[in-house]
Amino acid sequence: MVRTRLRNAALAWIAMIGASLHPGCASAQGVGDLAARMKDAGQWPMAARDYANTRYSELDQINVSNAAQLQLAWTFSVGADRGQEAAPIIIDNTMYVVGPYDGPYPNRVFALDATSGELKWSYAPRPEPAAKGVACCDVVNRGLAYDQGKIFLNTLDDHTVALDAKTGKELWHTKLGEINLGETITMAPVVVKGKVLVGNSGGELGVRGWVSALDEDTGAIKWRAYATGPDKDVLIGDDFKPFYDSLKGKDLGVKTWPADRWQVGGGTMWGWISYDPELNLIYYGTANPSPWNANQRSGDNLWSTTIFARDPDTGQAKWAYQINPHDLFDHDEVNENVLVDLPINGTARKVLIHPGRNGYMYVIDRATGEVLSADAYDHVNSYKGVDLKTGRIIPNEEKTPILGQTINDICPAAPGAKDWQPSAWSPRTKLLYVPHQHLCMNFKATEVGYIAGTPFNGASVDMYACPGGYRGEFMA
């Protein structure tokens, strides 16, 4: 968690950078098109900055020769002393930032002059207090989205809200989930082709995961794709063509679970969404299956820990790839998918790079779902690699959890080799910059019963630093 003083300083540095580039922002004044704003280096129109999830900016006024001269320009408090995981977005020299649930006005949105820090307006959604009681694992919010003069906000109590970007006036709000079932929303929305894309949180409470698309003008739900259940719920049809044979078959979101377990099976989606306009496909990963105790859910547990490629217009799945079949260690795969074009074996390939929680860096053909490489980027002993012919990860049987026994020295730990904190890609250096954990754990599986809106874990975990004695790392 980031404490108030440090958090405010971080916002101030961003404000100073934005202020120095104000003249460059004028070119996009009045432009309501996301594609145009992504091309304007002076704007940051979404949490990942662009659809490819690169988080890259061409701005070069701050560099190695002058970075030491940076000074604090201004500070602004979001009024909540909790984890601040939402980076600001910047539209036409206005900075928009949302706070976490905590404080007198939870999930409050602020519009600030990016040059001076002056408050232009704020919006307090007043989410249900009970949402805080069912939120795992902290009451954070990961950011806002913008399109066509509107700011889009997700609240912890399962609402998506549209605000007028100039005034902060609420234009519509839509309820998407039920906190009494354990559902919350912590992710940053993404707008694609007039649809606001939102996923739910709550896998540790036996929530059934989904991604919903809302009409950006009305808030009406246009489609919803579940992560578990029959094909009609998962939006799998005749156009679904996974690369690997193990993922071909009817209603695998039911058949790969014990009877009815898919209804409380997790697979939530609280991470990052990418979009390829040329292929017209969105990409995202689903979270862990429920409960953590894998002894209570035999089978591959599709479509948890899965990367999906979907048509944003209809929500229909085009391909999918399950990273951790029958996930044993809470290795969600909601981490970002960075879309880049790479020369591989002499051929240009449209790929996505996925830093897996399981400790492997996946390079996947984003048109077909074929895994081109999967190399370990941290200390891994819970698996023995990835079979590129079948696409399946190879488990280390010595680390398989046994009911009632503590299995020691499992690496990576439950938060994975990398958690939600996103990486960034530079087309200039051709490097991926990755902040990640370096944690191992002792894991004990226990029986657990499902009660709506209560924890549904079935495991206790003790985490500690991996070999080397440090707990985190930044790598390129």
Q: Active-site residues: which are they?
A: 204, 288, 330
| Contacts of 425 by beta carbon, 8 Å cutoff, 6+ apart | 52, 53, 54, 55, 56, 338, 340, 353, 431, 432, 433
Angle at 408 between CA 321 and CA 379, to 5 degrees: 50
Q: Give the residue carrying structure tokens 């399962």.
A: 158
| Spatial contact of 358 and 383, defined as CB atoms under 8 Å apart | yes
